[in-house]
Amino acid sequence: MKCEQLGIKYYNFHPGSTVGDCDVPTSLKAISDSINAVHKKTTSVVCVIENMSRQGNSVGGYFSELGSIIQGIKYNFLCNFFFSF
């Protein structure tokens, strides 16, 4: 994984947007599935998921959406969450 090669311990990202291509639950599952796929390739990089502001088709602006992502992650010890207000 590129982060490990560069010595980066934390990878911070926003969940993103459905861009109108799918519903929110489908998007949240895709995010969890992607995080799980990444966790299979690393033992040291921690994903830091930052909440979003509720605009348009964005996901991760409600705590319930972040909760859905968390519930879908198999290796929660490799995740941290950052909430900005």
| Domain boundaries of the chain, sorted by first residue | 2-82
Q: Which phi and psi angles does 52 have, rounded to 5°?
A: -115, 160
Q: How far is CA 62 from the centre of its chain?
A: 13
Q: Which residue has the tokens 């459905």?
A: 18
Confidence of residue 72 (pLDDT cuts 50, 70, 90): very high
pLDDT digits (tens, 9 = 90+) for 16-61: 899 989 999 999 999 999 989 988 888 788 888 888 888 889 998 8
